[in-house]
Amino acid sequence: MKDIVKINIIVFLLLIYTVGKAQSYHAFNGSTFAGGLGNFTNPASAINSTFNWDFSLLGFQSNTSNNAVRISNFSFSDLTPDKIGNIIIQPTSGYGARSLITASDLHLLNIRYNIDDNQSVSFGIRLRSNSYMESSPFNYTDSISGFNEFVHYNNSKGNVTPFYFHGYNETWLENDLSYSRILSDNDDNRLTGGITFALLRGFSGSYVGIDNLNYTAGKNKNTLTSGTASILYSANSANLDSKKTGLENYKALIRASKVSFAASIGIEYLVKEQMFEEKYNPKNYTWKFGASIMDIGANRYDTDTSSVFVTSPNTGLTDTSLQRQLQVDRDKNNLKNVLIGNFQGRRVYEKSYKMRLPTRLVLSVDRKITDNFFVNGLFNINFYSNDVSNIYDIKTSELNRIIITPRWESPAWGFYLPIQYTLKQDLMLGLAVKLGPLVMGLHNINWLQKTKFEELNGGGYLALHFQPFSFKKQHHSLDCYTN
């Protein structure tokens, strides 16, 4: 049973850190070759694409800021029942607050088509997920084997402040329909606008909170003196059945999920190069400025009956007693019943709640240096923080704050070095390449080292992005020809 649990945890971590997307493919920030993928940062960018159409059959990306957990003794060959016990998952060592933030995305289909020279439409299907957790500062060493030792070790270090932990996760299916058009165009500049409408289906949403947890340390057990616990589940997760196929479970989630709506809007302004083209190419600009408000909306969920809120532990309640009761049966309802039986205060949750999308203002500046070399600066300003002051209206935020991306690219080839500064003050140097329709990259180049990969701080992306490019050199209007 422990091996099965460990397999599930490791697969979950790998899905978070290596399969998904962090709101945009950073290599393509500002690129005229991004096509429909540019809608992930600004829906006004699609009409400024070099080609009249593009589509992606599959793309995934994830980005994570993490100082909470790490894995060791890991290799992909160990993901089997007989070797899984060799892999170690544990909190990071040392003293400090812990946090883990990740945003992941799997886009299954993305199509863009220019109706004419002035307007463009796009359609996309994405599976998205946001996760966040943080805790108060504490000490940890890998020699600690249980909660008793954890408490005694922290007391010996003088860490007796109340403990807290907050964490949430939401996963949803999103169908996007985008429209962009030219608002004004002359010999010197171009202004475009765009909007995305999204149909949301919330697959799962959950929240766990522990606040003001105080205890009295004893020799063999620790007595809880105060604290509150909040556990919130979405009801549609109860429709999953391990005995059913993946397709059957997917259909069950669709039937049980609530439908919501979201929108994104944006504008883009180009300062044109003075060229002698017969027809203007969107690649011929000196500066490009963009502004957008992304992900305005929220997913809605029905509350599962196993959700619970409790406060004020019973007199004499110990950690060993709680652990013994929870080990009898580890399902969600037993957790609720154990907490209700051991805490004096309790509250019934409301029937529904919502989790907001990471609504944010995105500002972009793109500078053309040479015909194939550009530098892009992208700035995210979150509308919400991750503080959960109202569990019936949980707010989420985007991980990235600033991304600077030098890029060299042609229609068929590309090389990118995105540098990103995150919400948790992480500075990551990335690397990406474009080889025809294949785009792949790392958010943190340190992942090329095994020891850095085990820190699980970073992520990567991969996309199959098709456009009508040619491997032949494209001639420029200022190229000279001789006989």
Query: Given the structure tokens 């989420």, which residue do they identify?
Result: 396
C-beta atoms surrounding 264 within 10 Å: 27
d(CA 397, CA 381): 9
pLDDT in tens, 228-270: 999 898 988 777 777 777 777 777 778 888 999 999 999 999 9
With contact defined as beta carbons under 8 Å apart, do 348 and 303 qualify? no
pLDDT at 76: 61
Q: In 3-state terms, what secondary structure has residue 446?
A: helix
Q: Tokens in use for 38?
A: 């540019």
pLDDT at 301: 94
**Residue 403 phi, psi (nearest 5):** -135, 120
* Letter string b/e over residues 414-448, b meaning 16 or more CB atoms within 10 A of that residue's CB: bebbbebbbbeebebebbbebeebebbbbbbebbe
Between helix 147-156 and helix 319-326 the angle, nearest 10°, is: 160
Pairing of the two strands 352-356 and 393-394: parallel
Length of the chain: 483
First to last CA, the chain: 77
With contact defined as beta carbons under 8 Å apart, do 257 and 234 qualify? no
Running along the chain, 483 residues long, what does each successive block of 10 average in pLDDT? 40 39 70 92 95 90 84 66 68 87 87 95 93 89 77 75 87 95 94 97 90 82 87 82 74 85 97 74 92 96 90 87 74 77 84 92 96 94 82 86 93 92 82 93 81 76 84 46 39
